[in-house]
Chain A
Amino acid sequence: MAEISIRQVGKTYGKTTIMQGVDLEIHDGEFVVILGPSGCGKSTLLRLIAGLEEITAGEIAIAGEVVNNLEPRERGCAMVFQNYALYPHMTVSDNIGYALKVAGVPKAERMARIEATARSVGLVEFLDRKPGQLSGGQRQRVAMARAIIREPKVFLFDEPLSNLDAKLRVQMRHEIRRIHNAVGATSVFVTHDQNEGMTLADRLVIMNKGTIEQIGTPEEIYEHPASLYVAGFVGSPAMNILPGTVASSGLSVLLGDGQAVDIRSSFKARPGQLVQIGLRPEKLSITTKAHGLLAAKFQFFEELGSARIYHLEIEDIPVGVVSDLKLALTAGEEVGLAFPPSALHVFDGPSGRSLARAEAAGESRGTDASTTGLSMHGRLL
């Protein structure tokens, strides 16, 4: 059992605070992905868990034991680094077995475990090579094997796939998930690639400038982003965002060009409130102008094979639509956009926070309240 409790954790270097008030409960055996842009403090959080950085506020407990003052080796964590961090002068075998050697495991047992671990990641024929003689993917496997062999309670991954080419990245992604399922240790995986995060995670943690923006399953995060920031970060192509003002009736949003979007069925908003409405490209469909809920001007499309990305404009604001229909449209043509009410997101203009959905909408959103609460908490900074 290795659940990780992160309570009110902060990190300061000298006078600069780079992380504050981070609360996160990671369950035993869970695969949690920490997602956020470069520089938002993902690595720092991981290194605080690992014990490579000193915790300056709050506490972290692994398997119920507070580890704030424990050395990395006493925390039972293994880490896979972005640049692999293999020992260049040691063979693959020595690299994988180094932790055991340090721990004083007898040679015979060590060799057997190295062999077994190398087999599980497909490295047996490379055991006598030096890291310099391996390809990027193979080095990555060595780094994984080095972590696996210790049979840790917790796996920590710091952007381990970012140096691989696209195809290998997908392959290693599956490999990591397979290993996680086989080993059953708790995994914390850091990445700035939302695709990686969405596909790997049991739960996603979205970070922004040293605080947690939202925690939830990939589906929750995708369907119910707690803020504009999360909405824009997760999903590809990115969510369409249109600024507007809530009409005096409080039942619709007026866009810049005077179009009204009905929000009655989903949200409660103050009249006159500045808002941003969000619509995912996958949830939009193109119809005739008369049938649409919004009017837009077609510009051009990108062919993806399985689908097309149609690029439109609503009063100079680009709007994307993903559709598998092959439509014959001419540039500048006026079309209508349709979408189900549940696809509509409304965010408060100044704060970017998602507006609470009205209960009348009757959708299942069991975790919605908790995620929103957390994100609000995270934004106290």
Chain B
Amino acid sequence: MIERTPLLNLATHLILGFGLIVILAPIWLAFVAATLTLQEVNAAPVELWPGTHLWANLKEAWVLSDFGPKFVNSLIVAVGVVVGKITLACITAFSLVFFAYRGRALIFWMIFITLMLPLEVRIVPTYAVAANALSPFQALLDVTGMGWLINAVSGVQVSLQWNLLNSYTGLILPLVATATGTFLYRQFFLTIPDELVEAARMDGAGPLRFLWDVLIPLSKTNIAALATIMFVYAWNQYLWPLLVITDRATYGMVVVQLSDLVPDQMTTGGGTPTWHLAMAATLMVMVPPIAIVILMQRWFVRGLINTDK
């Protein structure tokens, strides 16, 4: 319905403007703080207009946090999660939607249930697995008595060990193993008409060919959406990297580094809080996710215009 009521238009624009201010104000304050000196940022009335120290603050925060290698780490993890997630989601949804096999419903529900168990909830068992990715198999050996049998026969003590702590794999895998992407893809695949699948079969395309030639090109916008969501999600991870990475010098991620800059009793030791550096670092950490959103947004829009319907 199209309304032509100027008063209503004005009201909706006011609400929109208000919402925009609410969202932008904290970012503005962060930006302003990042441009001030230590004295200015701690002065009594909160400064609302930018100062002149932005560049100096950025440089100091960058060096202090050792952001160079940390940005590389974060990028590796985020890209790894995006690629892993899209691949996994695409293939599992493909299997769930286009193949009829025994236990399909069961598998679907098992994946569904993991939606209710985000990483934060199952962080302790996940850590245990990360500490030894083969521990479930070890448990299997122990329970079935296979370990004892092997020991008795060959004298070898089987102890499986694959440590994922302090590694990119350990950072990435648990973040990949979630159900959200699978669902997104499943919903999309369900909208593919049966006739299209059959047309491809008549044309002689096998399942993988169909996936590659038809499904993936058709799901470009889905890929863009999922990639954006997963990149931001992975980039913003804090708790998991904090836990799994003890060798912070080599494997630290920017968001964890950032938290070190945020002043508290421990870091300042009672000194003047360095909010200007924390905010400068925040600005830098925000850049990649924003860039991805802007970049991918053009894809969404193009995908929306080119709906081949």
- The answer to whether A124 has its CB under 8 Å from any CB of chain B is no
Most buried by A among B199, B213, B218, B309: B199
With a cutoff of 8 Å between Cβ atoms, the chain B residues found around residue A71 in the complex are: 201
With a cutoff of 8 Å between Cβ atoms, the chain A residues found around residue B195 in the complex are: 81-85
- The answer to whether B286 has its CB under 8 Å from any CB of chain A is no
- B211-230 CB contacts (< 8 Å) to partner A: 213-214, 217-218
Is A131's CB under 8 angstroms from B198's CB?
Answer: no
- The answer to whether A137 has its CB under 8 Å from any CB of chain B is no
Q: How large is the interface on B (under 10, 10 to 19, 20 to 34, 35 or more residues)?
A: 10 to 19
Is B202's CB under 8 angstroms from A132's CB?
Answer: no
Is A87's CB under 8 angstroms from B196's CB?
Answer: yes
Is B203's CB under 8 angstroms from A81's CB?
Answer: no
Is B217's CB under 8 angstroms from A89's CB?
Answer: yes
With a cutoff of 8 Å between Cβ atoms, the chain A residues found around residue B209 in the complex are: 102
With a cutoff of 8 Å between Cβ atoms, the chain A residues found around residue B213 in the complex are: 87, 98
Also in contact, A85 and B198, with CB within 8 A (given A102-B209, A132-B308, A132-B309) = yes
With a cutoff of 8 Å between Cβ atoms, the chain B residues found around residue A47 in the complex are: 198
With a cutoff of 8 Å between Cβ atoms, the chain B residues found around residue A102 in the complex are: 203-205, 209
Is B201's CB under 8 angstroms from A52's CB?
Answer: yes
**Contact string against A for B residues 169-204, beta-carbon threshold 8 Å, 1 for contact and 0 otherwise:** 000000000000000000000000101101111111
With a cutoff of 8 Å between Cβ atoms, the chain A residues found around residue B217 in the complex are: 89
**Contact string against B for A residues 263-289, beta-carbon threshold 8 Å, 1 for contact and 0 otherwise:** 000000000000000000000000000
Closest chain B residue, CB of each to CB of A51: B201
- A215-268 CB contacts (< 8 Å) to partner B: none
Q: How far is the CB of A53 from chain B (nearest CB, A)?
A: 10
What's the Cα separation between A89 and B213 when bound, in Å? 10
Closest chain B residue, CB of each to CB of A150: B203
Counting residue pairs across A and B whose Cβ atoms lie within 8 Å, the total is: 66
With a cutoff of 8 Å between Cβ atoms, the chain B residues found around residue A79 in the complex are: 198-199, 202
Q: How far is the CB of A329 from chain B (nearest CB, A)?
A: 51
Q: How large is the interface on A (under 10, 10 to 19, 20 to 34, 35 or more residues)?
A: 20 to 34
Closest chain B residue, CB of each to CB of A86: B199
Is A88's CB under 8 angstroms from B204's CB?
Answer: no
Closest chain B residue, CB of each to CB of A84: B195
Is A99's CB under 8 angstroms from B204's CB?
Answer: yes
Is B308's CB under 8 angstroms from A78's CB?
Answer: no
What's the Cα separation between A88 and B198 when bound, in Å? 14
Also in contact, A85 and B199, with CB within 8 A (given A73-B204, A102-B204) = yes
Also in contact, A146 and B203, with CB within 8 A (given A85-B193, A102-B209) = yes
Most buried by B among A52, A78, A103: A52
Most buried by A among B193, B195, B204, B213: B204
- A347-376 CB contacts (< 8 Å) to partner B: none
Q: How far is the CB of B91 from chain A (nearest CB, A)?
A: 20
Q: How far is the CB of B128 from chain A (nearest CB, A)?
A: 44
What's the Cα separation between A85 and B214 when bound, in Å? 12
**Contact string against A for B residues 241-267, beta-carbon threshold 8 Å, 1 for contact and 0 otherwise:** 000000000000000000000000000
Is A88's CB under 8 angstroms from B309's CB?
Answer: yes
- A9-68 CB contacts (< 8 Å) to partner B: 47, 50-52
Q: How far is the CB of B119 from chain A (nearest CB, A)?
A: 35
Is A85's CB under 8 angstroms from B196's CB?
Answer: yes
- The answer to whether A130 has its CB under 8 Å from any CB of chain B is yes
Is B204's CB under 8 angstroms from A89's CB?
Answer: no
CB contact between A72 and one of B193, B201, B218, B307 (< 8 Å): that residue: B201
Q: How far is the CB of A87 from chain B (nearest CB, A)?
A: 6
What's the Cα separation between A87 and B196 when bound, in Å? 7
- The answer to whether A77 has its CB under 8 Å from any CB of chain B is yes
What's the Cα separation between A85 and B199 when bound, in Å? 6
Also in contact, A83 and B193, with CB within 8 A (given A72-B202, A78-B202) = yes
Is B218's CB under 8 angstroms from A89's CB?
Answer: yes
Q: How far is the CB of A2 from chain B (nearest CB, A)?
A: 16
**Contact string against B for A residues 131-142, beta-carbon threshold 8 Å, 1 for contact and 0 otherwise:** 110000000000
Most buried by A among B200, B202, B205: B202
What's the Cα separation between A47 and B202 when bound, in Å? 11
What's the Cα separation between A72 and B195 when bound, in Å? 14
Q: How far is the CB of A68 from chain B (nearest CB, A)?
A: 16
What's the Cα separation between A256 and B309 when bound, in Å? 57
With a cutoff of 8 Å between Cβ atoms, the chain A residues found around residue B202 in the complex are: 50, 52, 72-73, 77-79, 99
Is A73's CB under 8 angstroms from B201's CB?
Answer: yes
What's the Cα separation between A47 and B201 when bound, in Å? 12
- A120-135 CB contacts (< 8 Å) to partner B: 130-132
**Contact string against B for A residues 76-109, beta-carbon threshold 8 Å, 1 for contact and 0 otherwise:** 0111011111111100000000110011000000
Q: How far is the CB of B160 from chain A (nearest CB, A)?
A: 42
**Contact string against B for A residues 145-168, beta-carbon threshold 8 Å, 1 for contact and 0 otherwise:** 010001000000000000000000
Name the 4 nearest CB pairs between A and B, nearest first.
A88-B308, A73-B204, A85-B195, A85-B199
25 contacts between A and B (CB under 8 A): A51-B201, A71-B201, A72-B201, A72-B202, A72-B204, A77-B202, A78-B202, A83-B193, A83-B195, A84-B195, A85-B195, A85-B196, A85-B198, A85-B199, A86-B199, A87-B214, A88-B218, A88-B308, A88-B309, A89-B308, A99-B203, A102-B209, A132-B309, A146-B199, A146-B203
